Chains A and B, each alone.
Chain A
Amino acid sequence: MEKDKINFSCKALIIGGSAGSLEIILNTLPKIRSSLSFPIIFVLHRKNSADSVLLELLAHKTSMPVKEIEDKLAIEKGTIYLAPPDYHVLIEKENFFSLDVSEKINYSRPSIDVTFDSASKVYNNNLACILLSGASADGVQGLKEVKNKGGLVVVQEPSTAEFPFMPQQAIEENLADHILHPNELISFINSL
């Protein structure tokens, strides 16, 4: 079941998180090497507000460029992208983002499922996804698609999660290639 990371070539890393995930992200980001050969795309459940506090928070933690995703924005390596509030984020084959304001999925927009699923169709077995703390089941369906396409799935060790439900669901569905502590995430990402 477990996928061998050695033969894995990463074209994109998507990190999905809900309640309890922000602190982990803020602690992890500063220690990520800035020479990544792939983009990191964050899909986080967040309150729908026009302010850009979250974007600024992330930008303060890294020397990599941090961008909130806009319609048709090109996807570049070594860049951090953040899903905007109230939009689903999809990936197009030509390697740019597109947005969608269709119905909420798992009471969420952005929905982690939507981006995992869409990215799996584009990046196939070159996609890595991390699912962090959260109180909803969002992300699990998407991870099934990622696994089907041969992607690499990492789930936060539920006992370390403030809200273990989300990672627990993924583990129960047997989707995780690796179950990691928050401080193991850093070396994992840096080794991709």
Chain B
Amino acid sequence: MISEEDIDLLLNDVAELYGYDFTLYSKASLTRRLNRLYALDFFPSFAEFRYKVRNDKDYLQRFIEEITVNVTEMFRDPTFYQTLRTEILPMLATNPYIKIWHAGCSTGEEVFSMSILLKELNLLHKSLIYATDINPKVLEKMASGIFPLSSIKQYSENYIASGGTKDFSSYYTAKYDKAIFDSELIKKIVHSTHNLVSDGSFNEFNLILCRNVLIYFDKPLQDRVFTLFDASLAKLGYLCLGTKETLNFSAINVNYQQHKKDKIWRKIK
């Protein structure tokens, strides 16, 4: 077990030496992740853990990969995707061009879900999806378009539950234990590292998705990120959050209208 003081030391090191600031992350979850990594890599003492982080640049990559959470699935929360399909994307379809930002996209399962939706609604040709994450490793994975075949059964069920009517297997080729997704789905995805803690707005979007990312941030950091999203969202654009996240207590809430009871807010001012 790493003590609270030691965690503060370590986070300050990482912020000072590498510019990754985790000090405004939710403490309970971050503490769990740090203890998990500490045990996973068999450090005999905190001092050795700290030394490794401070002095081994390659280890920093692993550190970021392991303390951020990269659990995701295609068409996660099928009812959310159903709403996107039947209500939100048809509204955005009137725009000449649809710009979408997946903030904190991890390995891209939700990004590919979006590509599939856009393709089925015949909107993919006039859409551009920006997929960003703090961690370059997960973006590489996404760009390959290759996902483990073992997850496909679940994804396929989610797809059907979300109102998908095509044969899900038409979107990928199975090879050994991998599912290689159709390159057409990747074409409109642009990926880049972006740190929600420290990086600014880089474009204006019609749709921003940031699902199950803000739960790892404390309230001041959440507010900062909401301001960033507000500055990056076109008027009448939509912001989508995770099923247990909310915009209701934020300063920007007055400019937004919630779409029914969904975790989708429209920028009205």
Q: Do A and B bind each other?
A: yes
Binding site for B on A (CB under 8 A): 50, 69-72, 84, 87, 90-93, 98-103, 114, 117-118, 121
B33, B69, B215, B249: the one contacting A98 at CB < 8 Å is B215
On chain A, the residues within 8 Å of B78 by CB distance are 50
B195 at the interface (CB under 8 A from A): no
CA distance A99 to B214 in the complex (A): 10
On chain A, the residues within 8 Å of B77 by CB distance are 50
B27 at the interface (CB under 8 A from A): yes
B212 (CB) vs chain A CBs: closest residue: A101
Extra contacts besides A71-B242, A100-B29 (13): CB < 8 Å: A50-B243, A70-B244, A71-B214, A71-B245, A72-B249, A84-B244, A92-B27, A98-B26, A100-B32, A101-B71, A101-B212, A102-B32, A102-B33
Q: A50-B79, A103-B71 are in contact. Are A98 and B28 (CB under 8 A)?
A: yes
B246 at the interface (CB under 8 A from A): yes
Contact indicator A114/B32 (Cβ below 8 Å): yes
B216 at the interface (CB under 8 A from A): yes
On chain B, the residues within 8 Å of A103 by CB distance are 71
Contact indicator A118/B28 (Cβ below 8 Å): yes
On chain A, the residues within 8 Å of B27 by CB distance are 92-93
On chain A, the residues within 8 Å of B216 by CB distance are 100
B219 at the interface (CB under 8 A from A): yes
On chain A, the residues within 8 Å of B31 by CB distance are 121
Contact indicator B244/A71 (Cβ below 8 Å): yes
On chain A, the residues within 8 Å of B79 by CB distance are 50
Contact with A along B60-75 (1 / 0, CB 8 A): 0000000001010000
CA distance A102 to B216 in the complex (A): 10
B31 (CB) vs chain A CBs: closest residue: A121
A70, A100, A101, A118: the one contacting B246 at CB < 8 Å is A70
B32, B219, B242: the one contacting A72 at CB < 8 Å is B219
The 4 A-B pairs at the shortest CB distance, nearest first, are namely A90-B28, A98-B26, A102-B69, A100-B29
On chain B, the residues within 8 Å of A101 by CB distance are 69, 71, 212, 215, 242
On chain B, the residues within 8 Å of A99 by CB distance are 215, 244
CA distance A99 to B89 in the complex (A): 29
Interface residue total, chain B, C-beta cutoff 8 A: 24
B79 (CB) vs chain A CBs: closest residue: A50
On chain B, the residues within 8 Å of A93 by CB distance are 27-28
Binding site for A on B (CB under 8 A): 26-29, 31-33, 69, 71, 77-79, 212, 214-216, 219, 222, 242-246, 249
Contact indicator A100/B214 (Cβ below 8 Å): no
> What does DSSP make chain B's interface, helix, strand, loop or mixed?
helix
CA distance A103 to B33 in the complex (A): 11
On chain B, the residues within 8 Å of A91 by CB distance are 28
Q: A100-B216, A101-B212, A101-B215 are in contact. Are A90 and B29 (CB under 8 A)?
A: yes
CA distance A91 to B246 in the complex (A): 18
A-B contact pairs, 24 of them (CB 8 A): A70-B245, A70-B246, A71-B242, A71-B245, A71-B246, A87-B244, A90-B26, A90-B28, A92-B27, A93-B27, A98-B26, A98-B215, A99-B244, A100-B28, A101-B69, A101-B242, A102-B29, A102-B33, A102-B69, A102-B71, A117-B32, A118-B32, A121-B28, A121-B31
On chain A, the residues within 8 Å of B32 by CB distance are 90, 100, 102, 114, 117-118
B26 (CB) vs chain A CBs: closest residue: A98
B214, B219, B243: the one contacting A84 at CB < 8 Å is B243
CA distance A99 to B244 in the complex (A): 8
Q: How far is the CB of B14 from chain A (nearest CB, A)?
A: 19
CA distance A102 to B32 in the complex (A): 10
A102 (CB) vs chain B CBs: closest residue: B69
A92 (CB) vs chain B CBs: closest residue: B28
On chain B, the residues within 8 Å of A102 by CB distance are 29, 32-33, 69, 71
